Amino acid sequence: MTTHNTSTHSRTRVQQNVSRAKPKGPRRLLLLRAGLALAFCALGVRLVFLQVLDHAHYTALSVAQVRENLTTTALRGGIYDRHGETLAVSRPTSLVIADDFQIKDPITEAKAMSPLVQVPVVKLTSLLSKNGGYVILNDALDLTDGRKVSSLMFPGIVVQNSSVRTYPDGTLATSLLGGVNASGAGSTGVEYQFQKLLAGQTGVTREFVSSSGVNLPASHSTVIRRAEPGVGLELTLDSSLQYVTERDLARELKTYDGLTGLAVVMDVKTGEILADASLVNTKTTAGALGPITTWGKNVGYSGIDQTINDLAFSQAYEPGSVFKVVTFSAALQAGLITPTTVFPVPNSVVVGGRLFHDAENHALEHLTATEVLAQSSNIGTYEIGTRVGESGLLAQVERLGFGQTTSVNFPDETRGLLVNASNWYASDQVALPIGQVDAVPAIQVLDAYNAIANGGVFVEPKLVRGYVYANGTMKATAPSVKREVLSPNADATMVKMLQQVVLAGTGTNAIIPGYSVAGKTGTATIPFPGRDQLTGNYNATFVGFAPANDPVLSMIVVIERPLNNIFGGTVAAPVFQEVMSYALHHYGIPSNGAVQKPLKGAAASISSDVT
């Protein structure tokens, strides 16, 4: 009995344990279902946030993946000469781009588009088959054809506004105008100097584009901000005179195998630059001083190209005898000499341990101040310089504008290299008066002589006459700043002495029939680091103005390293004569009819101006 009860009790406990274990399966299922229900609820909540509450945010992100605000370039302002003739202009064009991933049949599409985009079928087929995603088909298509291409909506083809810079007169004045780079921004010259003004204000256009940068099919552009066209420039240049100046300079450069040549013509009263030529002879070896960069644009004579840098502003040189105007004008201003003051002039002197001499050997001479200038005597000029003294010479150098950048502020314009009181050597008492120790750009030499021509009043050179706006109006620039550098009496005397240089001195090749001319020649040695000078190399210069009795135009000509003939009187003066003669007639300047009396005796040797 006891055993039976025990067995029954054990069985009952087993049954109880089994009955307790049975609910585990259904419970896990319930938990799983509950978890799934929670997950679906969470997903639902997330979907509500995505589709309802955060809909605008994610829509914006989605659109932003294909929407871009693109900069649209403004039409670049034009550049014109003083008579309104176009020197540089940007022509509106259409830029045709292909997303060749969207093009299914390149051959068929090429045949249909070829006449419109002006690209041969074979080449166009190749472009449309590149699979690059962004292919330029034509970057300078005419606007009318561009509109046709756009209206036909070829798959994968986008037409955008563009422009191309052109120079209608070809190579004319390229050294001054400069150029633009591949992105259309000014890289040199006037184009670079006035980049911000010419470029205008860029606009903003909203586009829907693919990852390759091409507009999505059936999408539309929205103008956010319109581009403002650039402001044009009216320069002081005269295209006709510029052409004649370049032509005559190129011919002389070719004739004498010079390395470079420059010529600048200026309006005496206003300082306006009427012509500015800067050329290089690529067939002449540059030598120790290195090559001259060129545009590779021939000006009509084989090997004669436009320089990239405008040499009249950017290249300093020892001017030689044309610098003697500093010495003579200072002496006249101080009342230390008259035109007839006589000086004993030996052939040579030793000062500060250096030997200086005249260009041609001679016995002791007695020359008037006018004869010293006309014959370009180095030793006679030194003797006049000793009367002026160191401080007087340095002051006159500064007074005439040497060592100072001009108001033109042309790109890469140099101030030059001048001696001063802190680095003055005894030998500079000779070297400075004859133009050996200071290096200056040609524009500063012309400015000094222009001041003599202008009654002793220095006038800053000027290149821009006005700003031309898109509506056709022009705003004139302010007149050039002026200052007196020489008294009227001293200046008038200086002019008469410079006339004798042309009539019976080293500048006779500058004589213009019917017009009085005043000027000065220079044949200057070229210094070189490590030695005194480049043997056998010279810079030939002539600078002057006309008519001398009432000056209207001034001009400088510099030929660097002529080979066949080195003298300023035979190489540079003829260019002055030809260009100035044309200019005087071109502007209707009447002949003064004056008969000038030359110095007594034979004219000075043209070779006597070597320093």
Band (186; pLDDT cuts 50, 70, 90): very high
Closest by CA to 211, choosing from 132, 103, 125, 129, is 132
- Regarding predicted confidence, which is higher, 554 or 603? 554
pLDDT at 2 over 70: no
- What percentage of the chain exceeds 70 in pLDDT? 87
Predicted confidence band at 580 (pLDDT cuts at 50, 70, 90)?
very high
Q: From the CB of residue 257, how many other CB atoms can be counted at a distance below 10 Å?
A: 17
With contact defined as beta carbons under 8 Å apart, do 236 and 463 qualify?
A: yes
Q: What is the mean pLDDT of residues 229-247?
A: 97
pLDDT over 70 (residue 264): yes
d(CA 16, CA 19): 5
Residue 68 has what pLDDT?
62
pLDDT in tens, 93-138: 888 888 767 788 888 888 888 888 889 989 988 888 887 778 888 8
Confidence grade of residue 147 (pLDDT, cut at 50, 70, 90): confident
Paired strand residues for 390:
none
Asked if the model's pLDDT at residue 573 lies above 80, the reply is yes
Structure confidence at residue 218 (pLDDT): 54
Written as one letter, the residue type at 517 is V
DSSP H helices in 506-609: 568-571, 573-586
* Separation of alpha carbons 144 and 60, rounded Å: 36
Average pLDDT over residues 198-211: 75
SS3 170: coil
| Angstrom distance (rounded) from CA 609 to CA 583 | 27
* pLDDT of 476: 97
Output the CATH code of domain 71-99+108-213+220-235: 3.90.1310.10
- Answer yes or no: is pLDDT of 65 > 70: no
**Mean per-residue pLDDT, 32-55:** 74
Q: What is the overall mean pLDDT for the chain?
A: 88
Encoded tokens for 90 = 């940007």
Residue 442: the pLDDT is 98
pLDDT above 80 (res 22):
no
- Cis peptide preceding 217, ω within 30 of 0: no
Average pLDDT over every residue of 407-429 = 96
Residue 497 near residue 298, CB atoms below 8 Å: no
> Looking at residue 79, what is its pLDDT?
98
DSSP-derived 3-state class of residue 566: coil
Q: How confident is the model at residue 5 (pLDDT cuts 50, 70, 90)?
A: low
**6 has pLDDT over 60:** no
Q: Name the CATH superfamily, with its identifier, for domain 239-589.
A: DD-peptidase/beta-lactamase superfamily (3.40.710.10)
Q: H/E element holding 381?
A: helix 378-399
- For residues 241 and 139, the answer to whether their CB atoms sit within 8 Å is no
Domain boundaries, the chain: 71-99+108-213+220-235, 239-589
